[in-house]
Amino acid sequence: MSATRLHCKVCENVVYMAMELSTKKWVLAFSTGIARDPRIREVQARDMIGLKREIRLALRKFELPEDSLVVSCYEAGRDAFWLDRCLHHHGIENVIIDSASIEQNRRQKHIKTDRIDAKKMVRMLCRWHQGDADVFRTVCVPTEEDEDRRHLHRELKTIKGDRNRVVNRMRAMLAELGLDSQVRLDARFPAWLKGIRLWDGKSVPPGANARLQQQFLRLRSLEAEIAELERVRRDRIRTEDSRQARQVRKLLGLKAIGATSSWLLVNEVFGWRHFKSRRQLASFTGLVGSPFNTGNTDREQGITKAGSKWIRSVMIEVAWMWLRYQPQSALSQWYSRRFGGPGKRMRKIGIVALARKLVIALWRYLEKGIPPEGAILVDWYTKVGLTKAPAMAA
């Protein structure tokens, strides 16, 4: 369901419902959009039978027919998208609100309870449904298939984070013992640890040795999991015939973009989100400026940093790689002219601007098939270990 479909003028026979979700209970606020105090009720979390019962009672309280339109909303959070799909299944029009876009009280101390938040949301929902599109921002809901595809790279990120923590822990322990903390943590590490001596000629104490051996086994297990997930990702890039897989292969055809960044950008951004313009895409990534212009004050506050920090960090890495492997492209030439002078600070500022231009260029490439100007195209299949393209994806 597109959020824009819910906008309408003031209409009869409609009840608005805002849900303040928590682990144990849900606070519901009902209103008809007229000047009256919202009806507040509570149900147990995930109790859909109780939720539908409260909707029927609200319709009866407001003297509305049972077939009246019900428009609901809740803040994006741990409950994610299953509730949105469930509500639509039961004929309830629902939108998910971006929490960061909700208006805030500017007083130093303001009262906050679930009841107050639910009342506030239902009033905002009434305004939004009646045409005030700027009252809050809605979240784009993926299909179940698109949501499921995101688990692979998210699990890979989690395991890589676990691996980094284990490596840092081992290196810290080696430093505490006065040993070389930069030693290679490969298959030869146990033998090295057994033969190494401390500053006084003694061997590694048994407690520290046992802990290092345990951490090393954990590291090897994590590396095996990472290798398996990367193998699964390569196989899916090679063999899948879905729209997302074709987009990944298309991005891999650009020099400077690898499997990790292409897979992430497609499955988190380009594969299922629909952007109306380049400005909307840049705003989503948070790579746009945030000016502060009022009265005699006119200054720039830096980029907005909206959306996913992960996407921004990946785009910054892709921008650096683009400068290295696509030096003759129009984007790289623009960066060199604008920020190529002396000074690391300007280069770091410029790389953010390049990342914004690059993400827009990649979006146009996927949508219209027009590669970035001057970009070098390569064979995508060589990046996933093939000597020739499979017949299906050639």
**Spatial distance between the Cα atoms of 71 and 94, rounded to a whole number of angstroms:** 6
**Spatial distance between the Cα atoms of 282 and 363, rounded to a whole number of angstroms:** 10
The residue extents of the domains of the chain are 11-129, 145-239, 243-384
pLDDT recorded at residue 299: 87
How, if at all, do strands 69-75 and 93-97 pair?
Answer: parallel
Q: Are 81 and 142 in contact (CB under 8 A)?
A: yes
When mean pLDDT is compared across 96-100, 204-208, 226-230, 387-391, the lowest value belongs to 387-391
Give the containing element (helix H, strand E) for 303: strand 297-303
Give the containing element (helix H, strand E) for 25: strand 25-31
Classify 378 as helix, strand or coil.
Answer: coil
pLDDT above 90 for 211: yes
Number of other CB atoms surrounding residue 382 within 10 Å: 12
pLDDT above 60 for 37: yes
Average confidence (pLDDT) over 27-44: 92
What percent of the chain lies above the pLDDT cut of 90? Answer: 80
- First vs last Cα of the chain: how many Å apart? 34
State pTM to two decimals: 0.88
Q: For 272-327, what is each residue's pLDDT tens digit?
A: 999 999 999 999 999 988 888 888 888 888 888 888 999 999 999 999 999 999 99
pLDDT above 70 for 2: no
**Spatial distance between the Cα atoms of 123 and 270, rounded to a whole number of angstroms:** 33
Q: Are 229 and 155 in contact (CB under 8 A)?
A: yes
**Spatial distance between the Cα atoms of 204 and 177, rounded to a whole number of angstroms:** 8
CATH class of segment(s) 11-129? alpha beta
pLDDT recorded at residue 162: 98
Q: Hunting for tokens 């490439």 — which residue is that?
A: 365
The one-character DSSP state at 275 is: -
Average confidence (pLDDT) over 50-54: 97
pLDDT above 90 for 391: no
Q: Are 143 and 271 in contact (CB under 8 A)?
A: no
Dihedral angle, C-alpha 277, 280, 281, 285, nearest 10 °: 170
pLDDT recorded at residue 392: 62
More confident residue, 386 or 119: 119
When mean pLDDT is compared across 96-100, 231-235, 259-263, the lowest value belongs to 96-100
Q: What is the mean pLDDT of the chain?
A: 92
When mean pLDDT is compared across 116-125, 132-141, 264-273, 337-346, the lowest value belongs to 337-346
pLDDT above 90 for 4: no
Q: Are 353 and 331 in contact (CB under 8 A)?
A: no
Per-residue pLDDT band for 21 (boundaries 50, 70, 90) equals very high
Residue 28 β-bridge partners: 19, 41
Per-residue pLDDT band for 394 (boundaries 50, 70, 90) equals very low
